[in-house]
A and B are shown apart, each in its own frame.
Chain A
Amino acid sequence: MKDALKLAGGLLVIIVFYMVGRLINSYLLPLVPGSIIGMLLLFTVLMIFGEKLSQWLQDGAKLLIKYLPLFFVPVTVGIIQYDNLVSLFGLFFFSLMMASSFIVLVLLSSLLERTAGKKEKSVSWD
Protein backbone atom coordinates (compact mmCIF):
# COMPACT_ATOMS: atom_id res chain seq x y z
CA MET A 1 0.00 0.00 0.00
CA LYS A 2 2.78 2.37 0.98
CA ASP A 3 4.68 1.38 -2.17
CA ALA A 4 1.68 2.04 -4.39
CA LEU A 5 1.22 5.44 -2.80
CA LYS A 6 4.89 6.25 -3.27
CA LEU A 7 4.71 5.19 -6.93
CA ALA A 8 1.58 7.24 -7.63
CA GLY A 9 2.95 10.25 -5.75
CA GLY A 10 6.26 10.04 -7.60
CA LEU A 11 4.52 9.83 -10.96
CA LEU A 12 2.33 12.76 -10.08
CA VAL A 13 5.26 14.96 -9.04
CA ILE A 14 7.14 14.12 -12.27
CA ILE A 15 4.04 14.90 -14.35
CA VAL A 16 3.60 18.22 -12.53
CA PHE A 17 7.22 19.12 -13.40
CA TYR A 18 6.46 18.27 -17.02
CA MET A 19 3.35 20.48 -17.02
CA VAL A 20 5.34 23.37 -15.51
CA GLY A 21 7.99 22.81 -18.21
CA ARG A 22 5.28 22.99 -20.87
CA LEU A 23 3.92 26.22 -19.40
CA ILE A 24 7.37 27.82 -19.36
CA ASN A 25 7.90 26.59 -22.92
CA SER A 26 4.71 28.18 -24.22
CA TYR A 27 5.08 31.51 -22.41
CA LEU A 28 8.81 32.12 -22.01
CA LEU A 29 11.07 29.72 -23.90
CA PRO A 30 9.53 28.56 -27.17
CA LEU A 31 12.86 27.13 -28.43
CA VAL A 32 13.43 24.73 -25.53
CA PRO A 33 10.96 21.82 -25.38
CA GLY A 34 8.82 21.57 -22.23
CA SER A 35 10.14 18.12 -21.35
CA ILE A 36 13.74 19.35 -21.24
CA ILE A 37 12.75 22.39 -19.14
CA GLY A 38 10.88 20.08 -16.75
CA MET A 39 13.87 17.80 -16.51
CA LEU A 40 16.28 20.66 -15.71
CA LEU A 41 13.81 22.05 -13.17
CA LEU A 42 13.45 18.70 -11.42
CA PHE A 43 17.23 18.28 -11.43
CA THR A 44 17.64 21.70 -9.81
CA VAL A 45 15.02 20.91 -7.17
CA LEU A 46 16.75 17.58 -6.48
CA MET A 47 20.05 19.41 -5.98
CA ILE A 48 18.33 21.57 -3.36
CA PHE A 49 16.22 18.97 -1.52
CA GLY A 50 18.67 16.13 -1.97
CA GLU A 51 18.57 12.42 -1.33
CA LYS A 52 15.17 12.24 0.41
CA LEU A 53 13.17 13.55 -2.52
CA SER A 54 15.12 11.41 -4.96
CA GLN A 55 14.35 8.27 -2.90
CA TRP A 56 10.73 9.22 -2.93
CA LEU A 57 10.52 9.78 -6.70
CA GLN A 58 12.65 6.75 -7.62
CA ASP A 59 9.84 4.24 -8.25
CA GLY A 60 7.82 6.55 -10.46
CA ALA A 61 10.90 7.53 -12.47
CA LYS A 62 11.96 3.88 -12.89
CA LEU A 63 8.55 2.98 -14.28
CA LEU A 64 8.52 5.86 -16.78
CA ILE A 65 12.07 5.10 -17.97
CA LYS A 66 11.27 1.40 -18.29
CA TYR A 67 8.37 2.16 -20.62
CA LEU A 68 10.06 5.03 -22.46
CA PRO A 69 10.36 2.95 -25.66
CA LEU A 70 6.59 2.28 -25.62
CA PHE A 71 5.94 6.00 -25.82
CA PHE A 72 7.79 6.13 -29.15
CA VAL A 73 5.63 3.50 -30.86
CA PRO A 74 2.78 5.70 -32.23
CA VAL A 75 5.24 8.18 -33.80
CA THR A 76 7.32 5.41 -35.35
CA VAL A 77 4.26 3.75 -36.88
CA GLY A 78 3.95 7.09 -38.73
CA ILE A 79 6.55 5.82 -41.19
CA ILE A 80 3.65 4.33 -43.20
CA GLN A 81 2.68 7.85 -44.26
CA TYR A 82 5.78 7.85 -46.45
CA ASP A 83 4.89 5.26 -49.05
CA ASN A 84 6.71 7.45 -51.57
CA LEU A 85 9.89 6.61 -49.68
CA VAL A 86 9.50 3.01 -50.77
CA SER A 87 11.65 3.98 -53.73
CA LEU A 88 15.28 4.03 -54.73
CA PHE A 89 15.68 7.44 -53.10
CA GLY A 90 13.98 6.26 -49.91
CA LEU A 91 16.23 3.24 -49.74
CA PHE A 92 19.29 5.43 -50.27
CA PHE A 93 18.13 7.98 -47.70
CA PHE A 94 17.25 5.56 -44.90
CA SER A 95 20.30 3.34 -45.50
CA LEU A 96 22.56 6.38 -45.37
CA MET A 97 20.94 7.59 -42.14
CA MET A 98 21.30 4.20 -40.47
CA ALA A 99 24.88 3.78 -41.74
CA SER A 100 25.74 7.21 -40.36
CA SER A 101 24.29 6.43 -36.91
CA PHE A 102 26.09 3.09 -36.95
CA ILE A 103 29.40 4.79 -37.73
CA VAL A 104 28.86 7.23 -34.83
CA LEU A 105 28.17 4.33 -32.46
CA VAL A 106 31.16 2.21 -33.53
CA LEU A 107 33.73 5.01 -33.84
CA LEU A 108 32.79 6.75 -30.59
CA SER A 109 32.60 3.62 -28.45
CA SER A 110 35.75 1.95 -29.76
CA LEU A 111 37.92 5.08 -29.88
CA LEU A 112 36.74 6.30 -26.49
CA GLU A 113 37.33 2.87 -24.96
CA ARG A 114 40.89 2.88 -26.24
CA THR A 115 41.75 6.40 -25.07
CA ALA A 116 39.71 8.06 -22.38
CA GLY A 117 37.91 4.94 -21.15
CA LYS A 118 41.09 3.69 -19.54
CA LYS A 119 41.51 6.70 -17.32
CA GLU A 120 37.87 7.10 -16.44
CA LYS A 121 37.48 9.03 -13.23
CA SER A 122 35.31 7.70 -10.48
CA VAL A 123 34.38 8.59 -6.94
CA SER A 124 34.00 6.33 -3.98
CA TRP A 125 30.39 5.87 -2.93
CA ASP A 126 29.34 7.51 0.26
Chain B
Amino acid sequence: MGLIVTLIVFGAAQFVYLKLKHSFLLPVFTATVVIIGLIFLTGTTYEAYYASARWIDWFLGPAVVALSLPLYKYRKMLFLNRKTIVSWVFFGAVIGIVSGAIVLWVFSIHESFVISALLKNTTTPVAIDIAAIYGGIPPLTAVICTMSGMLGAIVGPAVYRRFQVNSDIAKGVAMGAAGHAIGTARLMEDNDYAGAVSTISFLLMTVLMTVLTPVVVFLLY
Protein backbone atom coordinates (compact mmCIF):
# COMPACT_ATOMS: atom_id res chain seq x y z
CA MET B 1 0.00 0.00 0.00
CA GLY B 2 2.73 2.45 1.00
CA LEU B 3 4.54 1.63 -2.23
CA ILE B 4 1.57 2.34 -4.49
CA VAL B 5 0.57 5.50 -2.59
CA THR B 6 4.14 6.85 -2.86
CA LEU B 7 4.27 6.22 -6.61
CA ILE B 8 0.87 7.81 -7.25
CA VAL B 9 1.53 10.84 -5.03
CA PHE B 10 4.98 11.40 -6.54
CA GLY B 11 3.60 11.03 -10.06
CA ALA B 12 0.97 13.66 -9.30
CA ALA B 13 3.57 15.92 -7.66
CA GLN B 14 5.82 15.60 -10.71
CA PHE B 15 2.90 16.43 -13.01
CA VAL B 16 2.03 19.60 -11.07
CA TYR B 17 5.70 20.63 -10.91
CA LEU B 18 6.19 20.25 -14.66
CA LYS B 19 2.97 22.19 -15.31
CA LEU B 20 3.76 25.12 -13.02
CA LYS B 21 7.59 24.95 -13.00
CA HIS B 22 7.88 26.57 -9.59
CA SER B 23 10.92 25.64 -7.48
CA PHE B 24 8.91 25.44 -4.26
CA LEU B 25 6.81 22.65 -5.78
CA LEU B 26 9.83 20.32 -5.91
CA PRO B 27 8.16 16.88 -6.20
CA VAL B 28 10.20 15.20 -3.43
CA PHE B 29 9.08 17.99 -1.07
CA THR B 30 5.37 18.15 -1.96
CA ALA B 31 5.10 14.34 -2.17
CA THR B 32 6.64 13.97 1.30
CA VAL B 33 4.24 16.52 2.80
CA VAL B 34 1.19 14.89 1.18
CA ILE B 35 2.20 11.38 2.31
CA ILE B 36 2.79 12.57 5.89
CA GLY B 37 -0.69 14.13 5.75
CA LEU B 38 -2.16 10.86 4.47
CA ILE B 39 -0.46 8.86 7.23
CA PHE B 40 -1.96 11.12 9.89
CA LEU B 41 -5.40 11.19 8.24
CA THR B 42 -5.64 7.43 7.92
CA GLY B 43 -4.13 6.80 11.36
CA THR B 44 -1.47 4.37 10.11
CA THR B 45 2.06 4.29 11.47
CA TYR B 46 5.34 5.01 9.74
CA GLU B 47 6.37 1.39 10.27
CA ALA B 48 3.31 0.14 8.38
CA TYR B 49 3.95 2.62 5.57
CA TYR B 50 7.66 1.89 5.35
CA ALA B 51 7.15 -1.90 5.30
CA SER B 52 6.10 -1.70 1.65
CA ALA B 53 7.57 1.70 0.65
CA ARG B 54 11.09 0.52 1.46
CA TRP B 55 11.26 -1.12 -1.99
CA ILE B 56 11.53 2.38 -3.39
CA ASP B 57 14.58 3.07 -1.19
CA TRP B 58 16.34 0.19 -2.84
CA PHE B 59 16.59 2.09 -6.12
CA LEU B 60 18.72 4.78 -4.47
CA GLY B 61 21.66 2.41 -4.96
CA PRO B 62 21.31 1.93 -8.75
CA ALA B 63 20.54 5.67 -9.12
CA VAL B 64 23.84 6.55 -7.44
CA VAL B 65 25.62 4.03 -9.71
CA ALA B 66 23.96 5.71 -12.73
CA LEU B 67 25.67 9.00 -11.82
CA SER B 68 28.91 7.54 -13.17
CA LEU B 69 27.62 8.21 -16.70
CA PRO B 70 27.62 12.03 -16.47
CA LEU B 71 30.97 11.75 -14.67
CA TYR B 72 32.32 9.78 -17.61
CA LYS B 73 30.81 12.12 -20.18
CA TYR B 74 32.46 15.20 -18.63
CA ARG B 75 35.62 13.52 -17.36
CA LYS B 76 37.99 15.81 -19.27
CA MET B 77 36.37 19.02 -18.04
CA LEU B 78 36.21 17.71 -14.50
CA PHE B 79 39.85 16.66 -14.60
CA LEU B 80 40.94 20.07 -15.90
CA ASN B 81 39.09 21.79 -13.07
CA ARG B 82 40.11 19.33 -10.38
CA LYS B 83 42.07 21.78 -8.22
CA THR B 84 39.26 24.32 -8.13
CA ILE B 85 36.67 21.67 -7.34
CA VAL B 86 38.65 19.92 -4.59
CA SER B 87 39.74 23.09 -2.79
CA TRP B 88 36.29 24.70 -2.88
CA VAL B 89 34.53 21.57 -1.70
CA PHE B 90 36.99 21.45 1.20
CA PHE B 91 36.16 25.08 1.96
CA GLY B 92 32.46 24.17 1.84
CA ALA B 93 33.01 21.32 4.30
CA VAL B 94 34.73 23.72 6.71
CA ILE B 95 31.89 26.27 6.45
CA GLY B 96 29.38 23.48 7.03
CA ILE B 97 31.19 22.14 10.09
CA VAL B 98 31.70 25.56 11.68
CA SER B 99 28.19 26.88 11.06
CA GLY B 100 26.47 23.62 12.00
CA ALA B 101 28.28 21.21 14.29
CA ILE B 102 30.44 23.76 16.13
CA VAL B 103 27.40 25.88 16.99
CA LEU B 104 25.67 22.81 18.45
CA TRP B 105 28.83 22.02 20.41
CA VAL B 106 28.96 25.57 21.80
CA PHE B 107 25.41 25.06 23.10
CA SER B 108 26.62 21.73 24.61
CA ILE B 109 24.15 19.66 22.60
CA HIS B 110 24.61 15.88 22.91
CA GLU B 111 27.40 14.28 20.86
CA SER B 112 25.00 12.12 18.80
CA PHE B 113 23.29 15.26 17.45
CA VAL B 114 26.64 16.85 16.61
CA ILE B 115 27.67 13.73 14.65
CA SER B 116 24.35 13.72 12.77
CA ALA B 117 24.87 17.43 12.04
CA LEU B 118 28.36 16.80 10.67
CA LEU B 119 26.90 14.50 8.05
CA LYS B 120 24.11 16.80 6.86
CA ASN B 121 25.68 17.68 3.50
CA THR B 122 26.63 14.13 2.53
CA THR B 123 24.36 11.94 0.47
CA THR B 124 21.67 10.20 2.50
CA PRO B 125 22.40 6.50 1.81
CA VAL B 126 26.04 7.01 2.78
CA ALA B 127 25.27 9.30 5.73
CA ILE B 128 23.00 6.69 7.32
CA ASP B 129 25.79 4.10 7.30
CA ILE B 130 28.43 6.50 8.62
CA ALA B 131 26.12 7.82 11.36
CA ALA B 132 25.63 4.25 12.57
CA ILE B 133 29.39 3.61 12.64
CA TYR B 134 30.39 6.84 14.44
CA GLY B 135 27.57 7.10 16.98
CA GLY B 136 25.17 9.48 15.27
CA ILE B 137 21.41 8.90 15.01
CA PRO B 138 20.84 7.26 11.59
CA PRO B 139 17.13 8.12 11.00
CA LEU B 140 17.65 11.71 12.17
CA THR B 141 20.72 11.97 9.94
CA ALA B 142 18.63 10.74 7.00
CA VAL B 143 16.05 13.43 7.65
CA ILE B 144 18.47 16.38 7.93
CA CYS B 145 20.34 15.13 4.86
CA THR B 146 17.23 14.99 2.70
CA MET B 147 16.12 18.36 4.11
CA SER B 148 19.49 19.89 3.16
CA GLY B 149 19.19 18.35 -0.30
CA MET B 150 15.67 19.72 -0.75
CA LEU B 151 16.76 23.14 0.51
CA GLY B 152 19.52 23.22 -2.11
CA ALA B 153 17.18 22.07 -4.87
CA ILE B 154 14.42 24.51 -3.92
CA VAL B 155 16.36 27.71 -3.19
CA GLY B 156 19.43 26.98 -5.37
CA PRO B 157 18.08 28.42 -8.63
CA ALA B 158 16.83 31.55 -6.83
CA VAL B 159 20.14 31.99 -4.97
CA TYR B 160 22.04 31.72 -8.27
CA ARG B 161 19.84 34.37 -9.83
CA ARG B 162 20.06 36.68 -6.82
CA PHE B 163 23.86 36.45 -6.55
CA GLN B 164 24.39 36.32 -10.33
CA VAL B 165 26.07 32.94 -10.30
CA ASN B 166 26.39 31.94 -13.94
CA SER B 167 29.36 29.60 -14.27
CA ASP B 168 28.59 25.90 -14.25
CA ILE B 169 31.48 25.19 -11.95
CA ALA B 170 30.23 27.57 -9.24
CA LYS B 171 26.68 26.24 -9.52
CA GLY B 172 27.84 22.64 -9.46
CA VAL B 173 30.33 22.84 -6.60
CA ALA B 174 27.96 24.81 -4.34
CA MET B 175 25.01 22.52 -5.06
CA GLY B 176 27.04 19.35 -4.59
CA ALA B 177 28.54 20.61 -1.34
CA ALA B 178 25.22 21.74 0.14
CA GLY B 179 22.53 19.66 -1.53
CA HIS B 180 24.30 16.39 -2.51
CA ALA B 181 22.31 13.97 -4.71
CA ILE B 182 18.89 15.69 -4.49
CA GLY B 183 20.39 19.05 -5.42
CA THR B 184 22.37 17.35 -8.19
CA ALA B 185 19.22 15.84 -9.68
CA ARG B 186 17.61 19.32 -9.71
CA LEU B 187 20.65 20.84 -11.41
CA MET B 188 20.63 18.08 -14.05
CA GLU B 189 17.08 19.01 -15.04
CA ASP B 190 18.42 21.97 -16.96
CA ASN B 191 22.21 21.66 -17.05
CA ASP B 192 24.08 18.41 -17.65
CA TYR B 193 27.58 19.73 -17.04
CA ALA B 194 26.79 21.62 -13.83
CA GLY B 195 25.15 18.37 -12.72
CA ALA B 196 28.35 16.45 -13.38
CA VAL B 197 30.36 19.01 -11.37
CA SER B 198 27.76 18.67 -8.63
CA THR B 199 28.09 14.87 -8.71
CA ILE B 200 31.85 14.92 -8.26
CA SER B 201 31.48 17.60 -5.56
CA PHE B 202 28.99 15.64 -3.49
CA LEU B 203 31.16 12.54 -3.80
CA LEU B 204 34.17 14.53 -2.57
CA MET B 205 32.09 16.05 0.22
CA THR B 206 30.95 12.58 1.26
CA VAL B 207 34.50 11.19 1.29
CA LEU B 208 35.72 14.27 3.16
CA MET B 209 33.06 14.08 5.86
CA THR B 210 33.61 10.35 6.27
CA VAL B 211 37.23 11.16 7.13
CA LEU B 212 36.65 14.43 9.02
CA THR B 213 33.75 13.32 11.23
CA PRO B 214 35.82 11.15 13.61
CA VAL B 215 38.56 13.83 13.66
CA VAL B 216 36.15 16.62 14.60
CA VAL B 217 34.43 14.42 17.20
CA PHE B 218 37.82 13.54 18.69
CA LEU B 219 38.85 17.20 18.87
CA LEU B 220 35.57 18.33 20.44
CA TYR B 221 35.02 15.56 22.99
Q: List residues of chain A with CB under 8 Å of any chain B CB.
A: 11, 14-15, 17-18, 21-22, 31, 33-36, 38-40, 42-43, 46-47, 54, 57-58, 60-61, 64-82, 93-94, 96-110, 112-113, 116-118, 120-123
Answer whether A74 and B56 are a contact pair too, CB < 8 Å, given A97-B144, A98-B148, A102-B155. yes
Residues from chain B with Cβ under 8 Å of A65 in the complex: 63, 66-67, 70, 185, 188
Question: Can you name the residue of chain B whose Cβ is closest to the Cβ of A47?
Answer: B72
Complex-state Cα separation, A41 to B65, whole angstroms: 9
In the complex, what distance in Å separates the CA atom of A115 from the CA atom of B31? Answer: 38
Cα A17 to Cα B152 with chains together (Å) = 29
**Which B positions have Cβ atoms within 8 angstroms of A?**
2, 6-7, 10, 26-28, 31-32, 35-36, 39-40, 46, 49-50, 53-54, 56-57, 59-73, 75-77, 80-81, 84, 88, 91-92, 95-96, 99-100, 103-104, 109, 113, 117, 120-121, 124-126, 129, 133, 139-140, 142-144, 146-153, 155-156, 159-160, 163-171, 173-175, 177-179, 181-182, 184-186, 188, 203, 206, 210
Tell me which of A38, A105, A117 contacts B178 (CB under 8 A): A105
Q: Residue among A40, A58, A105, A121 with the most chain B CB within 10 A?
A: A105
Q: Indicate if the CB atoms of B65 and A68 lie closer than 8 Å.
A: no
Q: Enumerate chain B residues within 8 angstroms of A108, measured Cβ to Cβ.
A: 88, 91-92, 95, 170, 173-174, 177-178
Determine how close the nearest CB of chain B comes to the CB of A58; give it in whole angstroms: 6
Closest chain B CB from A47 CB (angstroms):
7
Chain A residue with Cβ nearest B193:
A122
What's the Cα separation between A96 and B179 when bound, in Å?
Answer: 15
Given the complex, which residues of A lie within 8 Å of B159, measured CB to CB?
A: 105-106, 109
Contact (Cβ within 8 A) A78 B50: yes
A-B contact pairs, 23 of them (CB 8 A): A36-B206, A39-B64, A39-B65, A57-B69, A65-B70, A68-B60, A68-B182, A69-B26, A70-B7, A76-B32, A77-B49, A78-B142, A93-B104, A93-B109, A100-B117, A101-B100, A101-B152, A112-B173, A112-B174, A113-B165, A113-B170, A117-B169, A120-B81
